[in-house]
Amino acid sequence: MNEADWALFRCPTCHAELLVASVSAPKTEKRDNRISGALTCSQCQASFPIRDGIPRFVPNSGYTDSFAFQWNRHGRTQLDRYSGLPISRKRLFSVTQWNENLTGECILEAGSGAGRFTDVLLDTGATLYSFDYSEAVVTNHANNGDRPNFRLFQCDIFHIPLRPAIFDKVLCLGVLQHTPHPLAAFHSLVRMVKPGGELVIDIYAKTFAARLQWKYVLRPITHRMDKERLHRLVSRWTPPLIPLARLCRAVGGRAGARLLPIVEYSHLGLAEEINQEWAILDTFDMYSPTHDHPQSVQTVNGWFQAAGFVDIDVRRGPNGVVGKGRKPASWAA
């Protein structure tokens, strides 16, 4: 990051400007993507470390420890360049309906995990600010940290340490349902969108059929388990069930795929080994999160309306409910 990048950050507590202090980079590095140091609040004097090139605005991963575990264990699994298929790219652009060339725009990505969508967004040419609450930022940095248009940091979605209303586009996929208060998290994202800018989210769907999934039966127990133990159990039992899950999907479609307590993605064309990795990753993802708060289409539509957005489009999507809207150009904070 350069001076202009640091200037956009604000103290997550009092919102004052941050001062760059004691920043250094290894002499062998041509780029500063492994700098260390600190940012200090000009008002309350709070200090926030920069470790391995990543500003850290939270002391730990909090309720997102399971995501830190899974993304650091399965860091490359969902990257298109690893699977050889444009799965993340297709999902991103089908949900957002954005142009694939966004050069000159500034995007905020909330909850980036290991960086499956980060990778695609960076290819658009936009300047991308991306954060996660968990230590998954370490994996995202390893996957994408050498890209010149990438600005990565670790923070809480409820206290985003940036100047408000500066982003052309704000994106949050697969995250809001895993926060303790999805509506409050949504409003935190609204604050980041500049007048005339867009906000796109998705969130698990709250339907009767969705509530019949195995995860809502087992998760009250599994999310309290030691993550290493849970991952071992998932890794042991998922692979033998994949052929049966594939058969259930072939016979019963999406409903058939829900009959077993695992997920698998061979229907997407994944190679057998990579499909097994995805199956273990996403089955663990079903059972490990502390929070899982699905929402209805009507509820999400109400969020955008109450926030004063226009051109609202809320619909069912590949991961539940997709919500998209534009902040009016005449917006007054």
For 3, 152, 216, 217, 271, the CA distances from 210, given in Å and listed in that order, are: 47, 34, 9, 11, 28
* Residue 19 main-chain phi, psi, to 5 deg: -105, 135
- Among 170, 67, 185, smallest CA distance to 121 is for 170
pLDDT band of 60, cuts 50, 70, 90 = confident
Reduced to 3 states (helix: H, G, I; strand: E, B; else coil), residue 329 is: coil
Same domain? For 166 and 305 the reply is yes
pLDDT band of 130, cuts 50, 70, 90 = very high
Same domain? For 2 and 52 the reply is yes
Instruction: Write down the residue that tokens 């890209």 correspond to.
Output: 147
Same domain? For 199 and 265 the reply is no
pLDDT digits (tens, 9 = 90+) for 186-232: 999 999 999 999 999 999 999 888 888 899 999 999 999 999 999 99
pLDDT digits (tens, 9 = 90+) for 138-169: 999 999 999 999 999 999 999 999 999 999 99
Same domain? For 14 and 144 the reply is no
Helix axes 272-287, 227-257, angle to 10 degrees: 110
* pLDDT of 258 higher than 90: no
**What pLDDT score does 31 carry?**
47
Instruction: Write down the residue that tokens 């969130």 correspond to.
Output: 203
Same domain? For 76 and 155 the reply is yes
Residue 331 within a domain: no
**What pLDDT score does 24 carry?**
62
Same domain? For 50 and 85 the reply is no
**What pLDDT score does 52 carry?**
84
**What pLDDT score does 217 carry?**
92
Judged by average pLDDT, the poorest of 57-61, 94-98, 286-290, 305-309 is: 57-61
Q: Which residue has the higher pLDDT, 44 or 30?
A: 44
In the predicted model, what is the mean pLDDT of residues 101-113?
97
**What pLDDT score does 254 carry?**
82
Region class of 284: left (phi > 0), else alpha (psi between -120 and 50), else beta: alpha
**What pLDDT score does 3 carry?**
65
In the predicted model, what is the mean pLDDT of residues 4-10?
86
Domain total for the chain? 3
Q: With contact defined as beta carbons under 8 Å apart, do 219 and 286 qualify? A: yes
Same domain? For 80 and 169 the reply is yes
Q: With contact defined as beta carbons under 8 Å apart, do 126 and 92 qualify? A: no
Same domain? For 110 and 178 the reply is yes
Same domain? For 255 and 271 the reply is yes
Same domain? For 218 and 246 the reply is yes
* pLDDT of 30 higher than 50: no
List, in sequence order, the alpha helices (H) in the chain: 3-6, 65-73, 80-83, 87-96, 116-122, 136-144, 182-190, 208-211, 214-222, 227-257, 272-287, 297-306
Same domain? For 174 and 85 the reply is yes
Domain containing 102 — which CATH number? Answer: 3.40.50.150
Question: Percentage of the chain with pLDDT > 70?
Answer: 95
**What pLDDT score does 63 carry?**
83
